[in-house]
Amino acid sequence: MVTLFITQEAGLRHVTPEGHPERVERLQAIYDALRGPEFEGLERRAAPLAPEAEALRVHAPEYLERIREAAAGPDPVPLDADTWVSGGSFEAALRAIGGTNDAVDAVLGGAARNAFVAMRPPGHHALRDQAMGFCLFSTVAIAAKRALDDLGLARVAVLDFDVHHGNGTQEALWNEARVMFVSSQQVPLWPGSGLHSERGAQGQILNLPLPPGSDGKAMRREWEQALEQVAKTQPELVLVSAGFDAHRDDPLANLNWTEADFAWLAHAICDLAEGSCGGRVVSVLEGGYDLPALGRSVAAYVRVLMERGA
């Protein structure tokens, strides 16, 4: 068995204005970090273009058209104060969906034990009819819906450790009793959600708010308990919104995680998956805006995936 690494050059064509934190160089930092000989065992694959109908699993048709029209020109265009599109954005966002779906097919079909999808723009803030927080399409929620509705799964776990709450994923899965969604995030912090009281229509959502200035020890305590609860649901697939902006060097938040904390999370998530679904984990890039920290953290996380997937 292998670890699959999925990306595509279209992710480099989603261009944001100079100085924007969600920039092309994020992918390049990851490519550079995974270039060494220890990562030669990764099976590397290009993200395919998803059919537009995939986005409609969680997004409104008129929203899809707005994104297409806004991204028709070559220059960056703002959708809100934070979220921009350019001529390559629509394809990049569809390939993020396609790459994630391809990874799901590979791990469910036995071609890979686990996978990491490195595409941009990210997705976990995108709402049904609104772009938000650098995100266009709710990639991980779309993959969860597809696994349940088309691939015959009965239970899926979605885990999100980005420093900002995955409000778009939460909205998409609010009424989805077949998915347990767990999200840790700094609170208070944009977008202002992610409280314990947000439980989902069936009580299947678990938020883990972390105070500013807290470190990896606090995170590990919360996630240890949360993963015990997830294990009881016996998910057949584990999807991960892998944001690396809780790192102590990240400029957009105030948590104090290190590369060792992301490696710990990878081990803990693989433990969960091995106990419930044969180790089937698909992780999808979300945030992470200090380039050196992003590269080191992704390398630490992927290194564990490779160890556990061998």
Secondary structure E strands in the chain = 3-7, 43-46, 77-78, 84-85, 114-117, 156-160, 179-186, 205-210, 238-242, 281-285
For the chain, give percent helix, strand, coil, nearest 5. Answer: 40, 15, 45
Q: Is 124 a catalytic residue?
A: no
Options 14, 125, 165, 247, the catalytic residue: 125
Q: Are 274 and 308 in contact (CB under 8 A)?
A: yes
- Give the whole-angstrom CA distance, residue 145 versus residue 143: 5
Output DSSP code: residue 254: -
Residue 187 near residue 225 (C-beta atoms within 8 A): no
Find out whether 260 and 302 touch, Cβ atoms under 8 Å: no
- Cα gap 231→224, rounded to integer Å: 11
Query: Which structure tokens are listed for 71?
Result: 């991204």
- DSSP per-residue codes, 81-124: SS-EE-TTHHHHHHHHHHHHHHHHHHHHHTS-SEEEE--SS--T
CA angle 94, 57, 48 (to 5 degrees): 25
Token pair for 236 = 């057949």
**CA 214, CA 15: separation in Å to the nearest integer?**
33
What positions carry a catalytic annotation? 125
